[in-house]
Homo-oligomer: A and B are copies of this chain.
Amino acid sequence: MRQAIEDRIGTSHGTSTMRGSIHAGGPAEHPVPGTRVPAHTTLLHEGDPARRIMEVAEGAVMLTKLLPDGRRQVVELLGPGDMFGLACGDAYACSAETLTASLVVPHERGALERDAALAARLLRRFESQLCTMHAHALALGRMSALERVAFFLLRLMPEPAPGAPRDGSVHIAMTRQEIADFLGLTLETVSRAFSELKRRGLVALLRADEVRIRDRGSMQRLAGAA
């Protein structure tokens, strides 16, 4: 099994196992506030003993679960402020992998009793992550492939700040396979949905991983903005 780098986070320097080519610079520079981790690095493994709760300070992390036969579900996409490393019992419930170069801050579980501010922050964040999971469950359980992909793209590009710069394009730091595992589809179906959204003029595909939303209203209608 691939080695997670959990043990090296927050201690000294962090080397890492990576997928494909090496993206980011060298090992961690900041010993205390957190650890810099390159893209495509496994941070922890489902089933390993749960010791610490981790915070994404910068970057993007995905949480995944596996079925014994290898089917994979990306259960959550995390950004700055989000927490991971949750345990059911004493083992991690999910594996965690960076999507982009990230800064990760570990929190000892024992610190929660002592640090009320951290506990309050964690509470707010858990509430928000729980709401996001509810929306994700609705998408997985009841939306069509096209609707799920619209939902996904809106999630990546939340709102154009009021009166702010017009919709730029988003860089999608995930492969079609990863998006499919997030949405409960196959990569082919995701690809077809992208093409269909493009054909309908709701979206422009600059590159495979560079998307621009052209018709936000229609996208929201597709994604079931209640």
**A interface vs B, CB < 8 Å?**
46-47, 63, 65-69, 71-73, 75-76, 86-88, 93-94, 112-113, 116, 119-120, 122-123, 126-138, 140-143, 181-184, 224-226
- Distance in angstroms between the alpha carbons of A142 and B225 in the assembled complex: 25
Instruction: State whether B141 touches A226 (Cβ < 8 A).
Output: no
Listed residue (A93, A129, A132) with the most chain B CB atoms within 10 angstroms of its CB: A93
Task: Give A63's nearest chain B residue, CB to CB.
Answer: B134
21 residue pairs of the A-B complex, CB under 8 angstroms, read A63-B134, A65-B134, A66-B226, A67-B138, A68-B224, A71-B142, A71-B143, A75-B134, A86-B131, A88-B128, A88-B131, A88-B132, A93-B131, A93-B134, A93-B135, A126-B126, A126-B127, A129-B130, A130-B130, A130-B133, A137-B140
A137 / chain B contacts, CB cutoff of 8 Å: 65, 73, 75-76, 133, 136-137, 140
Q: Nearest chain-B residue to A223 (Cβ)? A: B67
- Closest-CB distance, A127 to chain B (whole angstroms): 5
B142:A87 contact, CB within 8 angstroms: no
- A141-B88 contact given A119-B120, A122-B123, A224-B67, CB 8 Å threshold: no
| List of B residues within 8 angstroms of A131 by Cβ | 86-88, 93
Chain B proximity of A109: nearest CB distance (Å):
10
CB distance from A74 to the nearest CB of B (A): 8
- Shortest CB–CB separation between residue A68 and chain B, in angstroms? 6
Contacts of A132 in B (CB 8 A): 88
Contacts of A129 in B (CB 8 A): 130
Residue among A86, A116, A129, A133 having the largest count of chain B Cβ atoms under 10 Å:
A133
Interface contact A142-B184, CB-CB below 8 Å:
yes
A69 to B221, CA, bound (A): 11
- How far is it, in angstroms, between the C-alpha of A71 and the C-alpha of B119 when the chains are bound? 36
- In the complex, chain B residues whose CB is within 8 Å of the CB of A225: 68
Chain B positions within 8 Å of A65 at CB level? 134-135, 137-138, 226
CB distance from A147 to the nearest CB of B (A): 9
Shortest CB distance A193–B (Å) = 15
CB <8 Å contact, B128 and A126: no
A72-B142, A184-B142 known; A112+B116 contact, CB < 8 A: no
